[in-house]
Amino acid sequence: MTHWASDALFYHIYPLGFCGAPRHNDFVSDPAPRLERIYSWIDHIKRLGANALYLGPVFESTVHGYDTADYFHVDRRLGTDDTLRELIATLHREEFRVILDGVFNHVGRDFWAFRDVLAHGQASAFCSWFAGLDFSRRSPYGDPFGYEGWNGHYDLVKLNLHNPDTRNHLLGAVETWAREYDIDGLRLDAVDVIDKGFLKDLAAYARSLRSDFWLMGEVVFGDYRQWANPEMLDSVTNYEGYKALYSSHVDQNYFEIAYALNRQFGEGGLYRNLPLYAFADNHDVDRVASSLQNLAHLYPLHILLMTMPGVPSIYYGSEWGLQANRQNGGSWELRPALNLDMVSRDCPQPELAPTIARLARIRSDMPVLRYGSYRQLHVAAQQFAFMRQLADQAVIVAVNAADQPVPMEIPIPDQAGRLVDVLNPGDTFPVFQGKARIDRVWPHWGRILVAA
């Protein structure tokens, strides 16, 4: 039985930025229902072809959402618990799946249990909730105790996930989110540094709440099978694929993406049976349009994103080729408030969103692009072709990053009389002696070919 996520195309929104929330939470203002701004985007997201939403942090936090203050209530800068409940109910009626961010490695300094430690010191009942708590030294903030922060950031206090009370609190939050908001899954932050025993408990508990609850983890480096396996998560972020997608275009070197996909999904590939979360950019990395030297490469890049193995995702605004870079180590430039009418009218790449929508329709219409095996057929510096195969169905994807049209002769493992291009309707090509002879692949474009 296949999981719903294998059929998903995600649209990723970072709510605090997208909704124009204040940068800092004062913890006293009345809730402002800024999440309601998402309603006006639903039709656009549907036209794009997405059928799932990944909403970044929505629960009470100090600044950016990954510094949680309260797991059980929506951030007042975004609205109330009812604001989120009604939004998700509407999205479900519109046939979207919805996943939220689960931030379980660390909390913010305003987290209620940490504030109790600040107030009561060693007498606090919550000292055991935090990793590395040490009253023999001071923290970088001048607290009368030291503690462990995430990756050297002491505004992010690492939780002690070996403590039963901490674990129960977090699992209780997951139960609340599943029952009160009816979410379909979670993206788990900083999974690569989370205790694997906790991940196993979380996975078992989440699936006891609903069998199709999807768990996807943020992993940048490492063997993804450490976290994506039957005991833990369903998927992890494919950062290897992300890097190869843009740098193979920047360097005019399709051998990089070919190597990555073959290593991951080819015969004997490490992740052949894992539906990795595929993306071209997100809330933490430069917009892909800022990473490319030639913006025309956005088109073959998205052909690859939508046809390679994995569960694809589009980060809000990038469907129009918006540009942004991290500034001084911060990410707010990557997370802007957007006005739908203005950005769709004045966007730098007006043809990109319709192209993504076309690719989404093709992917939706062809199960082989969602479930099929992967096999490399041809690779050159600026041309690349591969095949996806499912039972007796096969599709061949060819892309050309060069500035001029090129002919391609592609070996076809199975004999076919001719190939029909579903991306460029009306174009057909003969197959002779096990080779497809394509007279041209247009510059910065591609072909998606099926047997006639």
Residues above pLDDT 70, as percent of the chain = 99
Looking up residue 168, the CATH number of its domain turns out to be 3.20.20.80
* Residues 250 and 112 both lie in one domain: no
Mean pLDDT of 88-108: 98
Mean pLDDT of 73-102: 98
pTM above 0.75, yes or no: yes
Mean pLDDT of 177-191: 98
pLDDT single digits (tens) 398-450: 999 999 999 999 998 766 688 999 999 999 999 988 899 999 999 999 999 99
Q: Last residue of some domain: 318, 349, 369?
A: 369
Segments forming the whole domain that contains residue 395: 372-451
pLDDT single digits (tens) 334-347: 999 999 999 999 99
pLDDT single digits (tens) 214-253: 999 999 999 999 999 999 999 999 999 999 999 999 999 9
Helix (H, G, I), strand (E, B) or coil at 450: strand
Mean pLDDT of 89-109: 98
* Residues 222 and 312 both lie in one domain: yes
* Residues 75 and 156 both lie in one domain: no
* Residues 257 and 195 both lie in one domain: yes
pLDDT band for position 173 (cuts 50, 70, 90): very high
* Residues 402 and 433 both lie in one domain: yes
Looking up residue 121, the CATH number of its domain turns out to be 3.90.400
Which pLDDT does position 1 carry in this prediction? 63
Mean pLDDT of 63-90: 98
* Residues 80 and 201 both lie in one domain: yes
Average pLDDT, the chain: 96
Which pLDDT does position 330 carry in this prediction? 75
* Residues 100 and 117 both lie in one domain: no
Token reading at 237 = 């972020």
What is the rounded CA–CA span in Å between residue 439 and residue 400? 13
* Residues 166 and 31 both lie in one domain: yes
Residue 149 clears pLDDT 70, i.e. is over it = yes
Q: Last residue of some domain: 369, 392, 413?
A: 369
* Residues 96 and 192 both lie in one domain: yes
Give Cβ neighbours of residue 120 (< 8 Å, ≥ 6 apart). Answer: none
Residue 46 clears pLDDT 70, i.e. is over it = yes
Q: Last residue of some domain: 307, 337, 369?
A: 369
Which pLDDT does position 433 carry in this prediction? 85
* Residues 361 and 389 both lie in one domain: no
What is the rounded CA–CA span in Å between residue 424 and residue 422? 6
What is the rounded CA–CA span in Å between residue 339 and residue 327? 22
Residue 352 clears pLDDT 90, i.e. is over it = yes
* Residues 321 and 443 both lie in one domain: no
242: left (phi over 0), alpha (psi -120 to 50) or beta: alpha
Q: What does the angle CA 166 – CA 147 – CA 127 come to, to the nearest 5 degrees?
A: 40
Domain count, the chain: 3
Looking up residue 437, the CATH number of its domain turns out to be 2.60.40.1180
* Residues 61 and 29 both lie in one domain: yes
